[in-house]
Amino acid sequence: MRRLGGRWGRELARVRFTVEEVPSVEPWFDGPVPLGQTIPAEGKRPVRITVFRRPVEARAKGEAELARLIRDLLVEEVADLLGLSPESVDPSYDSPDD
């Protein structure tokens, strides 16, 4: 988030970033488990970008992959929120190097 905050601080000033254990899905849900979610602003409640800890940890194989997965997930959510491509939000998106 430091990298994104440094580059997009003004645009993300009212966005809340949260972590939850698992997503809430209906029993009949049939698809890949979401790793994250953006919840739109409502009234005085700001936009919220949530990372689901357990699905992310289950997908990653090691600490380095976990860090890249979280980075890419946050970049994708921010890009979607701002209406931009992930590569324009963070040029290191989807690359193996930090």
Residue 92 CA to residue 98 CA, distance in Å, equals: 7
Indicate the SS3 state at residue 64.
helix
Top-tier CATH class for 2-23+33-89: alpha beta
Chain segment 3-39, per-residue pLDDT in tens: 888 899 999 999 999 999 999 888 888 888 899 999 9
Residue 44 CA to residue 10 CA, distance in Å, equals: 18
Q: Judge if pTM exceeds 0.75.
A: yes
Q: 42 or 96: whose pLDDT is higher?
A: 42
- The token pair that represents 97 in the structure block: 């190097």
Residue 54 CA to residue 23 CA, distance in Å, equals: 9
